[in-house]
Every structure is written in structure tokens, then in C-alpha cells.
Structure 1
């Protein structure tokens, strides 16, 4: 039987004249202090945190559910990295982890001038 489940780290990168946009799919990732995104001036992006899906026992609305399938990732730390298309300005970035499980960053290109 084929195992299916969440796909963590699927991403898109887009470019404008002066900025880069990246969008990374992070379903099941906890939005707390364990989550981080580090950028370096060469355009390297490192995202890390905790996956919180896949628990055996789930407590919701005063009830306890026991998982009968195992298609989701098990709770564990994760890390992924990728490089944008060029150097970036570390001071000018806007990062947002939306409720839709999409982590999005807009970072300015480093302009030689």
C-alpha cells in the first residue's frame, strides 16, 4: 500500500526587479519559539521547527481520539534550506507564517550602488 501524507517544504520562488518572494508549504508545523527562519546575505534561507502532526492520541473538544491511520509525519524536528537567486539585503525582509500553513518571505535584493 502506498503511503501518502503531508508534503513539507514544497516551495516557489519568484523575482521582481528589486525583490525575491518565496513561499514554502509547511503543513503540520508548529508556529512557536521552535520555528525559525535564518537568512544570510548570499541568499541562503534555512527554515527549522517542529512537526506536530501524527500523534497517536489526539485530544479535541474534551474527547480522546486514537489514530487508526498513519499517513501524516510523526512528531519530530525538521530543517530545510534553499538559496535565492542572488544576494539579499538582510535589513529589508518581511516574513509571514500564515494560517494556511504557507510561510512567505519577501526580501529585497542587495543593490550594488
Structure 2
């Protein structure tokens, strides 16, 4: 591998900062494991949020123009409710209850207005974030 390949590889490997229960949840599948892809026009981020439910976790995603992404929410308590039954968790392998934040930088600037986050049913937060469009005078 030459030096140029190392630089490109390092740009695509973001430093990830985890706080709260995302940092403390060491025993099971961790919150915050991610993949980032890049195309000519956009970035695709997939962030693992195992055990979270969109309607109970208050997941928010804030995106800044410089490419910094902040995801925050909360892991619900050790009680799980479905339509008819309440379960008290006796084994807690996923992240413990509490608030979490995940912060990372994309390799370049983005247009936050052109972001489309989607919390999938498999516990993956998928975000497509478009890069800024160059004006014809800038080309």
C-alpha cells in the first residue's frame, strides 16, 4: 500500500466519540458501530442501534455543514412492552438504560437540508447526506 492509499483510507475511517450508555454498553452488541460510504454526490452512513425502538428512544440526528454528525437518544429501561405483555429483562446484554450520544465526522462538507435519516426495523439508522452542489460559476 502506498502513501496515497493510506491517506484515502484514513479519511474514510472516522473518529467516533461515544458517551453515556453507548460508551458503557460493553457486554453485548455495542451501540454506535458504523459504516460510511461515499459516492460522487452523497455520503451513506449506517449506524447500529441494537435494541432501540424508534417510537421509544427519541432518536435525533443533527448534521452540521462541515460534516459533523450528532446522533442522540435514550435506551429504555429493562422493561419491555409489546401489545399485550410486559417483560422485565433478567439478562441485559444490550446497552444499559440511559441517554447516549454518537458523534463523528464525514470526510467532507455536506448540505444538512438534503439529509434523509431512516431508522430501519432491524435497528440500523441509515442516513443519506448529500454533498453541497457546486454552482456553475464555481466549476
Q: TM class, shorter-chain normalised?
A: 0.7 to 0.9
Q: Which structure has greater helix proportion?
A: 2
Output the TM-score relative to the length of structure 1: 0.81
Output the TM-score relative to the length of structure 2: 0.68
For this pair of structures, how many residues does the alignment match?
109
**Which residue matches 1:41?**
65
Alpha-carbon distance between aligned partners in 1 of 2:115 and 2:82, rounded to the nearest angstrom = 37
Say whether residues 1:28 and 2:28 are aligned partners: no
Change (3 A) 1:103 1:60: closer
Contact preservation (8 Å) 1:89, 1:110: yes
Alpha-carbon distance between aligned partners in 2 of 1:108 and 1:58, rounded to the nearest angstrom = 36
**Which residue matches 2:32?**
9
Which SS does the other structure have where 2:118 is aligned?
Answer: strand
Q: Deviation per CA, 1:21-64: give whole Å up to 9, x if none.
A: 10000012241472100000000000000112x61x54556555
Q: Which structure has greater strand proportion?
A: 1
Change (3 A) 1:40 1:6: same
Listed as ranges, the gaps of 5+ residues in structure 1 are: none
Root-mean-square deviation (CA, aligned residues, Å) is 2.2
**Which residue matches 2:120?**
98
Change (3 A) 1:17 1:74: same
Contact preservation (8 Å) 2:51, 2:123: yes
